[in-house]
């Protein structure tokens, strides 16, 4: 049989199959019906060089039993290169997500990693749908997510979840007299007196407030960070 046509280099795809086409049989008696096929296999599916590829031949046809299959071909020059860059993930993040998903990176798996500093440092995902350290998220660096590199694949393309920041409230004057309270459920409020001891609370509708210094900010929602704080002094 003539030499087979064997491809000794491929990109990693998780299999041990190598591309091969059998050569042409020689020494066949005229009139006999015999064909030959070949299957080539790497010693393992991992990325590497100097890999062993074994080609095994099989005879077929009405007269195949009259002949012996060619001896296996073995080469040690096989190469498997790393796979091409995996596609960017499609994870979802929300500061106030429904169904207890607030602050979680939904759709992220342990095959991924994320960055909160613009890609300078990458944090491996330890559990699926991880809770992110919300205090570290900012509107300059956003949230970046990709598939981690492995021994057989490069790092994946990066998904960027755009983080923006809410506009600081612009309530003016004496809040109590001008608004009858702080308007809107989009706000959080805090009082620096003895009533709430600086804790933040939802402004559900309009909150009646007393004299003192009150802080107001817009709540985080979706991929929008909470606003900077506005401080108001209520004197009457």
Q: Which two tokens stand for residue 88?
A: 């960017």
Domains of the chain, start order? 5-81 (no CATH), 83-164 (2.60.40), 175-234 (no CATH)
Please report, in tens digits, the pLDDT of each residue of the chain (236 residues total).
788 999 999 999 889 999 999 999 989 999 999 999 999 999 999 999 999 999 999 999 999 999 999 999 999 999 999 888 889 999 999 998 765 678 999 999 999 999 999 999 999 999 999 999 999 999 999 999 999 998 888 899 999 999 999 988 776 554 444 444 555 455 666 655 444 445 666 665 555 556 666 777 888 889 999 888 877 766 65
Residues contacting residue 138 through CB under 8 Å, at least 6 positions apart = 116, 163, 225
Compute the half-sphere exposure of residue 195: CA atoms within 13 Å on the CB side of its CA.
13
CA angle (94 as vertex; 197, 225 as ends), nearest 5? 50
pLDDT given at position 105: 95
Which pLDDT does position 136 carry in this prediction? 95
Residue with tokens 């401080």: 231
* Contact criterion met (CB below 8 Å) for 86 and 157: yes
What does the alpha-carbon distance between residue 174 and residue 181 come to, in Å, rounded to a whole number?
10
CA distance 201 to 191: 9
- Rounded to whole angstroms, how far apart are CA atoms 150 and 104? 25
Q: What's residue 101's pLDDT?
A: 74
Q: Give strand ranges (E) for the chain.
A: 5-6, 9-11, 17-18, 20-21, 35-42, 48-60, 73-81, 92-93, 105-106, 112-115, 123-124, 143-147, 159-161, 164-165, 187-191, 201-202, 212-218, 224-225, 230-234
Strand 35-42 versus strand 48-60 pairing type: antiparallel
pLDDT for 172: 58
Q: Which helix (H) or strand (E) holds 178?
A: helix 175-179
pLDDT at 146: 97
Nearest to 155 by CA among 89, 74, 57: 89
Structure confidence at residue 233 (pLDDT): 64
Q: For residue 193, what pLDDT is reported?
A: 44
């Amino acid at each position: 049989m003539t030499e087979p046509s064997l491809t000794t280099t491929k990109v990693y795809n998780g299999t041990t199959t190598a591309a091969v086409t059998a050569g042409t049989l020689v020494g066949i008696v005229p009139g006999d019906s015999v064909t030959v096929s070949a299957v080539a296999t790497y010693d393992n599916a991992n990325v590497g060089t100097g890999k062993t590829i074994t080609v095994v031949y099989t005879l077929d046809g009405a007269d195949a039993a009259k002949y012996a299959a060619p001896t296996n071909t073995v080469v040690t020059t096989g190469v498997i290169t790393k796979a091409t860059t995996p596609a960017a993930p499609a994870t979802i993040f929300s500061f106030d997500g429904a169904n207890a998903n607030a602050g979680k990176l939904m759709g992220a798996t342990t095959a991924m990693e994320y960055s909160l500093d613009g890609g300078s440092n990458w944090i491996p995902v330890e559990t699926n749908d991880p809770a992110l350290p919300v205090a570290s998220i900012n509107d300059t660096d956003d949230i970046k997510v990709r598939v981690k590199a492995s021994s057989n694949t490069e790092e994946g393309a990066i998904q960027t979840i755009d983080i923006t920041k809410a506009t600081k409230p612009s309530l003016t004057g004496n809040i109590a007299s001008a608004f009858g309270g702080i308007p809107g459920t989009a706000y959080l409020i805090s009082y620096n007196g003895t009533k709430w001891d600086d804790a933040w609370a939802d402004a559900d509708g309009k909150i009646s407030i007393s004299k003192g210094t009150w802080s107001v900010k817009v709540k985080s929602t979706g991929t929008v960070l909470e606003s900077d704080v506005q401080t108001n002094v209520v004197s009457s």
